A and B are shown apart, each in its own frame.
Chain A
C-alpha cells in the first residue's frame, strides 16, 4: 500500500470505529454507566484536561514508565550481552530465566508494594521487570546471529573479545534490541498502570480505578483515552529511535 493511501485510510478507519460505537449505543439504548457514547467521553476528557491534577497523574505514570523502561534497557542489554557472549553462563542460568519469564509478574505486585512501598518505586520496579525480558532475549539473539563471515573477518584481524563486541556483536544486535525495546515500552506502560491499579493513590491507573469507584464511567473512558495516547506517543518515540540508531539497516532504508 502506498504511503499516501495509508495516511488517508487510518483516520477513516478511526472515524468508522467511533461511528459504529455511537450507532451501537443508540440502537441498543446502552446505559451510560456501561458504555457512554463517544461524544460524552470526549467531553469528559476535555474536563479532565482542564484539571491540573490530571497533569500530575500523567506525569507520575510517565515517570514510572520511562524510568522502568530505562532500567530495563540498560540491565537487559548488559545481561543479554553477558549471556550471549558467555555460553556456559547462559546454559546454567537458562532454566532460571525461563522460569522468571513464565512467572506472572503481576502476581509480584503485592510483594513489590511490601518491599518498595505504595509510591512510584514499586511501579518503576514492576515496569522494569516486565520490560526487561524481551530486551534481554533479543540482545542474546542479536549477538548469536552474527554471521560466520563477519566473525572470521574479526578473527583474521586478531581482534580481541571487547573489540569484537563493540565493533560487531553490539551493532549487529541493535535491530534486534530495538525490536525488544518496542515490545518493552508497551510492557513498561502496562506494568506502571497495573501497578497503579493495585496500590497507591497517584497516576493514570489510579485515576481509572478512582473514577470507576465513583461511577464516573465516562471519565474512566477519558482516562483510558489519555493512557492510550500516552502509550502511543512512547511507542512511536521508540520506533523513531530506529532511524537514528540503525540508519544502515534495511528496515530504515525501505521506509518501514
Chain B
C-alpha cells in the first residue's frame, strides 16, 4: 500500500514545560524542566518508569492539556495563545492513545475513516482508504465489525490505522503496541519504521520497552521518576532501515544495556 506523503513535516519546540495537577486541595508536580527541540521528521521515543509523566508530556504536545507553564511551538507557531488553543497549528495530527478509544457505535471501518469524514472526504474514498489501512495494520476482513467484536490488540491496531488515515504530519503514540504479542509487535515496529520513512512525519512514541525504543528511535528521551525530568537524551545512530537482526549487533546492545542500567538506578 502507498503511504501518502504529507505536504511538509514539522518540528516541535518545548520550552520550560512544567505540569502540576491539582488533586483535591494539594498539587502534584508531574513534569518539570522539559526543554527540547524535536526536529522535523524526527523519531523521538519517550521512555521512563510508570507514572513519570510520559502521557502527560504527550498530551501537552497534542494540545489536549495546557502546561502549567512553558511554551509549545509547532512548526514555528505557538500552540497556545492565552487560554485558547491555536487549532490551525494542529491541523494534521494523529494520536494513538494508551487505550484504543474506538467509538463503539461505529464499525471498525467508520472508526478508521472518521478523520477523513470530518474533513469531508466522500464515502467511497473513505471506504477504500479504510480497507488499505486495515490491511496495513493486519486486521483486513474486520472492516464491518463492531469494536466490541475485536480483541484488545486488534482494537489497538484499528486505533493506529485511524491515526494514520489522515496522513499526519505529527504522529503521537502512547504505548501503541503494549497489548500486542512479541511477534506482532516486531512486525508493527517494522511497519511503523517504513511508514515513518516513507511519509517523513514527525513521530513521538511512548514505550516501556527499551528494545523497542532503541529499535525505532532517532533519539530516546529518558524521563526520571516523579516529578518527571529530562534525565538522558540519547542519540541512536544505527543505519536505516533497521531490520530485526539489527537488534543482535553489539552497537544495538550497547544502547540497550546502557539505557537499562540508567533505568535501573530509578528503581
Contact = CB atoms under 8 A, between A and B. Distances in A.
B16 interface: no
A40 interface: no
Contact of B101 (A150, A163, A167): A150
A152 B103 contact: no
A156 B148 contact: no
A117 B148 CA distance: 52
A244 to B, nearest CB: 13
Contact of B118 (A147, A149, A159, A248): A159
Given A156-B95, A157-B115, A246 B105 contact: yes
Nearest to A245: B105
Contacts of B64: 152, 155-156
Contacts of B147: 248
A172 B166 CA distance: 24
Given A246-B105, A248-B146, A157 B114 contact: yes
A249 B114 contact: no
A138 to B, nearest CB: 16
Contact of B62 (A149, A156, A246): A156
A248 B148 contact: yes
A149 B105 contact: no
B115 to A, nearest CB: 5
A155 B115 CA distance: 11
A152 B101 contact: yes
Interface in A136-176: 147, 149-150, 152-153, 155-159, 163, 167-168, 171-172, 174
A250 to B, nearest CB: 7
Interface in B114-148: 114-115, 117-118, 146-148
Secondary structure dominating the interface of A: helix
A172 B105 CA distance: 8
A152 B118 contact: no
Choose among A152, A153, A168, A171 the residue with the greatest number of B CB atoms under 10 Å from its CB. Answer: A153
B105 A174 contact: yes
A253 B91 CA distance: 37
Nearest to A153: B101
Choose among B64, B90, B105, B146 the residue with the greatest number of A CB atoms under 10 Å from its CB. Answer: B105
B264 interface: no
Contacts of B117: 167
B258 interface: no
A163 B62 CA distance: 20
B103 A150 contact: yes
B93 interface: yes
B104 A248 contact: yes
Interface in A84-98: none
B97 A152 contact: yes
Given A158-B90, A248-B146, A250-B148, A149 B97 contact: yes
B87 interface: yes
Contacts of A158: 87, 90-91, 93, 118
Interface in A40-78: none
Interface in B45-74: 59, 62-64
B68 to A, nearest CB: 19
B103 A156 contact: no
Contacts of A150: 101, 103
A157 B105 contact: no
A168 B97 contact: no
Interface string B91-117: 101010101010111100000001101
B114 A167 contact: yes
Contacts of B93: 156-158
Contacts of B106: 167, 171, 248
A149 B148 contact: no
Contacts of B97: 149, 152-153
Interface string B148-189: 100000000000000000100000000000000000000000
B65 to A, nearest CB: 9
B105 A171 contact: yes
Interface in A208-256: 246-250, 253
A163 B119 CA distance: 10
A29 B103 CA distance: 63
13 contacts: A150-B103, A152-B59, A153-B97, A155-B63, A156-B62, A156-B90, A156-B95, A158-B90, A171-B106, A174-B105, A247-B146, A249-B104, A249-B105
Given A150-B101, A156-B62, A250-B148, 6 more contacts: A147-B101, A149-B97, A152-B59, A153-B97, A158-B87, A158-B90
Interface of B: 59, 62-64, 87, 90-91, 93, 95, 97, 99, 101, 103-106, 114-115, 117-118, 146-148, 166
Q: What are the nearest 3 A-B pairs in CB distance?
A: A171-B105, A149-B101, A156-B95
